[in-house]
């Protein structure tokens, strides 16, 4: 989980404020939120496990929701940044859409806590959850628009299509998270990619080889 947290997360540091404290608080918060859920997490526990103080916590973050929001924002930044970096090397619009789907499924499948934080623990914080979904929808819609411009898929409502993609992905990952004996999430990718790409009128390409390292 720690590798998904960008440095200097939370409020920008002041001239005498050590960034190490903020990073340590966020590192610990990621684990505690993932293990105990948003509502089961206490600021006191984050403070204790980070070997910090309440004064330091409230200097960086106004409240529990503040550190949770900062954590989610930077997790999403990191994942979307990784997606866009990888997509820049894809040869065509359909390959980029296919690769984006594969990267997200692989990221969630290999980092179950990441999926839980982004898709489960944000439930109840509607504004934050809608914002997370909207960012992924924007990325998908952008690449769908590119595919339309290149004639790779028919003209269509790309925002609606992207919303449907996000809904399908969200449901697949949630079912996996709550399954008593889940199979690897990556096992769903062949069927999922086929369904989603066909839904926008795309020709199904050869599955991409992904490597998140």
The segments of the chain whose pLDDT lies below 50 read 1-16, 212-213
Cα(21)–Cα(23) distance, rounded to whole angstroms? Answer: 5
How many domains is the chain built from? Answer: 2
Report the percentage of the chain scoring pLDDT > 70: 85
Does residue 172 lie in a domain region? Answer: yes
Does residue 195 lie in a domain region? Answer: yes
pLDDT the model gives residue 8:
40
Same domain, yes or no, for 195 and 99? yes
pLDDT the model gives residue 36:
86
Does residue 60 lie in a domain region? Answer: yes
Does residue 18 lie in a domain region? Answer: yes
pLDDT in tens, 68-79: 988 888 788 888
pLDDT the model gives residue 4:
42
Cα(94)–Cα(174) distance, rounded to whole angstroms? Answer: 26
Cα(197)–Cα(98) distance, rounded to whole angstroms? Answer: 8
pLDDT the model gives residue 34:
82
Nearest C-alpha neighbor of 139 from the set 99, 111, 190: 99
Cα(41)–Cα(24) distance, rounded to whole angstroms? Answer: 16
Does residue 77 lie in a domain region? Answer: no
Q: Which two tokens stand for residue 58?
A: 């409230």
pLDDT in tens, 139-150: 999 999 999 999
CATH code of residue 118: 1.10.357.10
Does residue 72 lie in a domain region? Answer: no
Q: Is 188 exposed, middle or buried (0-12, 13-18, 19+ CB in 10 A)?
A: middle
Nearest C-alpha neighbor of 116 from the set 35, 180, 26: 35
Instruction: Note down the domain range covering 183.
Output: 90-199
């Amino acid at each position: 989980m720690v590798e998904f947290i960008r440095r200097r997360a939370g409020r920008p540091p002041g001239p005498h404020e050590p960034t190490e404290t903020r990073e340590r608080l966020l590192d610990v918060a990621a684990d505690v939120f993932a293990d105990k859920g948003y509502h089961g997490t206490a600021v006191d526990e984050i403070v204790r496990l980070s070997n910090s103080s309440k004064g330091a916590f409230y200097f960086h973050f106004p409240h529990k929701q503040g550190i949770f929001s900062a954590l989610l924002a930077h997790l999403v930044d990191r994942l979307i940044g990784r997606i866009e970096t990888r997509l820049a090397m894809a040869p065509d619009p359909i390959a980029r859409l296919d690769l984006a789907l594969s990267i997200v499924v692989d990221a969630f499948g290999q980092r179950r806590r990441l999926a839980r934080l982004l898709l489960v623990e944000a439930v109840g914080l509607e504004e934050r959850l809608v914002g997370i979904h909207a960012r992924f929808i924007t990325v998908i819609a952008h690449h769908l628009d590119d595919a339309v411009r290149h004639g790779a898929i028919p003209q269509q409502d790309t925002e609606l299509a992207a919303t449907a993609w996000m809904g399908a992905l969200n449901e697949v990952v949630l079912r996996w998270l709550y399954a008593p004996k889940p199979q690897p999430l990556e096992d769903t990718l062949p069927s999922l990619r086929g369904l989603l790409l066909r839904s926008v009128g795309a020709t199904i390409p050869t599955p991409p080889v992904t490597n998140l390292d």
